[in-house]
Amino acid sequence: MKKWTMRGLAVAILFAVAWIYFPVTRAGFVWDDWPSFRDLQGDRWLHYVFRDFNQWTVYFRPLTVAFLALQVKLFHGAPGPMHAVSLGLHLVNVALAGMLAFRVGALAGATSSRQAWTTLACMLLYGMHPALIETVSWIGCQFDLMATLFTLLGLVANTYIQRAMTRAFTLAALFFLAACSKEAAVVFPVLVALFDVALFAHDGEGAPRTIAHRVIQRNWRAYAGMLGAGVVYLAARHWALNVPGHPAMFRAVDWSAQLQEICLTYLCYLKVIVWPMAGIGPLHPENGAVFQVVTTQSLLACVASISIVITGIYLAVKRRSALGFVILAATIALLPVLRVIPVSFDLNLYHERYATLAIAVICSLIPLFKWPSPAMARDSVAVRAVRLLAVATIALWTMFCMVDIRTLLPHWSSDAALWRWAMALDPYSQVAKDNLFLSFQHSGNVEEAQKLADQLLADPATCTSCMLHIAEMSLDQNDAMRATVALDRAGQSLLVKKQPDARQIYYRELGRLLIHQGRYADAQHVLEASLAIKPADPNAQAALATAKAASVNGLDEKR
């Protein structure tokens, strides 16, 4: 293939990806987008760049938060241009994955034709992969897009830059930027080392010590630079968060349950990577109870996961097989989301967006596979058949992907559409119910909010957070009857009794109800209990001031 033909096809793939995702530029904010970005509009935006963004207390992502703040101010809070930025970041990542694949092919000794076609295949598969629908469609996923961008830039720089000191400085800088985009970039140096083993240790075949010596000899300066960048990042994180850690994040460990959870999560992500068309959705709730007992299914999941990783190590180290390096690259990229460290990470077992980097590195390693060549095969007819099958498979895959993307994009167009979809996938999801109610409330759709509120109040399965939000809306509308029913339901739930945040909201809304009933003294006691849990709650503070003022004026109900 001629150079300009390949470049033309690469540009055509970028245009195709842009076209298939273009409807996102007409979408709105979803999930926690606007509550997150509201803080960035004010004068204290710089404070939120370093701490407290989205009420996070343990995350340090200054680069992406600063980038989001810039967009909020440039576009005056309009979602369309911010979606266009997300799409632009995705296109840049597609191009970088292609550049990396092209270089991998060159270092693997691929012919110019195979190098060109595998590069184009990499761009097409990554650009159209359905698991990235969430990443591209949700503005809040710019954290994943930027971490992937800097990681791919680092891998590209590692393969292209020849001078050791220049390469070391570049990798250290890019690692720091990736870490400041999202904590998951901790795998950046490990991926660099894996690519070094795959591409620059050809004479260490079958001898791990020789492979390690070859890799360290070539890139020890870069490893030292990335280590130094990591230390600088940790120092900056400590300064910004002002805490060495957050013990509340860590949970008690049952190692049997932990291993089952890790293995099942790993298999779920492999399924997302290999066949994402089925099961895509915004929520994948985790049921921790299933990990408390070892079952045949969980045992098989553990055996399968461990076998895949061991096979990957064996194939990569002993056989220098492309499949082995692909397995290891995917595993390394997924490590931050496999719950290896026992922290309170997420209520969902997995999310498609967390597979973004894994898919990128898998696609970039496609040129390592040895495709059949007529000159090497005895039967050229069989070779042509294999090639035709490969082309047909990629074409069929792409068609499935395009249909999937265009079918699922409308679900990400608005908050209401997203949570209607989530409820259609799981009618019992309390998270979906609560978020759908909030989407109606925030958009001012009072009729739909009241209709859903009545359905939730009639549902025998109590959604505690829904009840609290229904009570808040009802009191705003002076509907004491509906608020009383909602608070009675919430007050009987274990969530209010065990979780301080839920109990604080319950006390606040109960205090507001008591004010509505004229019971100002009782309201003061309840609101003071609410503020004891969360002293900075402005709504509870305002309600308490109202109750005190009414009591001082002698308006308390005679009893």
pLDDT at position 127 over 60: yes
Amino acid identity, residue 492?
Q
Taking 70 as the threshold, does the pLDDT of residue 554 lie above it? no
In this structure, the answer to whether residues 189 and 212 fall within a common structural domain is yes
CA–CA dist 473, 479 (Å, integer): 8
Beta bridge partners of 343: 250
Query: Considering the domain boundaries, does residue 559 fall inside one?
Result: no
pLDDT by residue (tens digit) across 29-72? 999 888 888 888 888 889 999 988 888 888 899 999 999 999 99
17-31, 131-145, 275-289, 395-409, range with the lowest pLDDT: 275-289
At residue 375 the predicted structure's pLDDT band, cuts being 50, 70 and 90, is low
pLDDT band at 291 (very low <50, low <70, confident <90, very high): confident
Which residues, listed in sequence order, are joined to residue 250 by a DSSP beta bridge? 343
- C-alpha 472: how far from chain center: 30
Q: How confident is the model at residue 257 (pLDDT cuts 50, 70, 90)?
A: confident
In a domain, 557, yes or no: no
Q: What is the DSSP letter of 250?
A: B
Residue 250 confidence (pLDDT) = 58
Residues 6+ apart with CB under 8 A from 266: 305, 308, 331, 334, 338
Q: What is the DSSP code (8-state) at residue 239?
A: H
Range of the domain at 436: 415-552
- Contact, 168 vs 221, CB < 8 A? yes
C-alpha 169/C-alpha 234 separation (Å) is: 18
| pLDDT of residue 476 exceeding 80 | yes
Same domain, 401 and 468: no
- pLDDT for residue 379 is more than 80: no
Same domain, 386 and 272: yes
Q: Is residue 558 part of a domain?
A: no
**With pLDDT > 70 as the criterion, what percentage of the chain qualifies?**
94
- Enumerate the H helices of 128-205 as residue ranges: 133-137, 142-160, 164-181, 188-200
Phi-psi region of 109 (alpha: psi -120 to 50; beta: other; left: phi over 0): left
**Are 198 and 255 contained in the same domain?**
yes
pLDDT tens-place string over residues 293-321: 888 999 999 999 999 999 999 999 888 89
Shared-domain flag, residues 392 and 541:
no
Euclidean distance between the first and the last CA atom of the chain, given in angstroms as a whole number = 91
Coil/strand/helix, residue 343: strand
pLDDT band at 553 (very low <50, low <70, confident <90, very high): low
| Cα dihedral: 47, 53, 58, 61 (round 10) | -80
- The residue-averaged pLDDT of 479-486 equals 93
Are 269 and 353 part of one and the same domain? yes
Helix, coil or strand: residue 552: helix
pLDDT the model gives residue 559: 43
Q: Is residue 319 part of a domain?
A: yes
What CATH number corresponds to the domain at position 441?
1.25.40.10
Mean pLDDT of all residues in 114-118: 91
Residues 76, 197, single domain; the answer is yes
Q: Record the pTM.
A: 0.92
Contact in structure between 159 and 195 (CB atoms under 8 Å): yes
DSSP SS3 for 456: helix
The whole-angstrom separation of Cα 328 and Cα 196 is: 13
CA 100 to chain centre: 23
Q: Per the domain annotation, does 329 fall within a domain?
A: yes
- 242 & 265 share domain: yes
Q: Which of 360, 392, 410 is the last residue of a domain?
A: 410
Lowest mean pLDDT among 100-109, 366-375, 387-396, 443-452: 366-375
Whether residue 446 sits in one domain with residue 405: no
> What confidence category does residue 249 fall into, taking pLDDT thresholds of 50, 70 and 90?
low
Q: What is the mean pLDDT of the chain?
A: 90
- Condensed to tens digits (0 to 9), the pLDDT of residues 153-183 reads 999 999 999 999 999 999 999 999 999 999 9
Same-domain pairing of 365 and 486: no
Is 259 part of any domain?
yes
pLDDT band at 245 (very low <50, low <70, confident <90, very high): very low
For the chain, what is the domain count?
2
Last residue of some domain: 370, 386, 410?
Answer: 410
Question: Cα–Cα distance between 309 and 326 in angstroms, integer?
Answer: 11
Q: What is the mean pLDDT of residues 213-239?
A: 94
Q: Which amino acid is at 503?
A: R
Identify the domain boundary among 376, 410, 444.
410
Same domain, 343 and 436: no
| pLDDT at residue 378 tops 60 | no
Domain co-membership, 364 together with 269: yes
The answer to whether residue 376 sits within a structural domain is yes
CA trace torsion 187, 190, 194, 199 (10° rounding): 100
Tell me, yes or no, whether 309 lies in a domain. yes
Q: How do residues 459-474 score in pLDDT, each as one tens digit?
A: 988 899 999 999 999 9
Query: What does the alpha-carbon distance between residue 412 and residue 415 come to, in Å, rounded to a whole number?
Result: 7
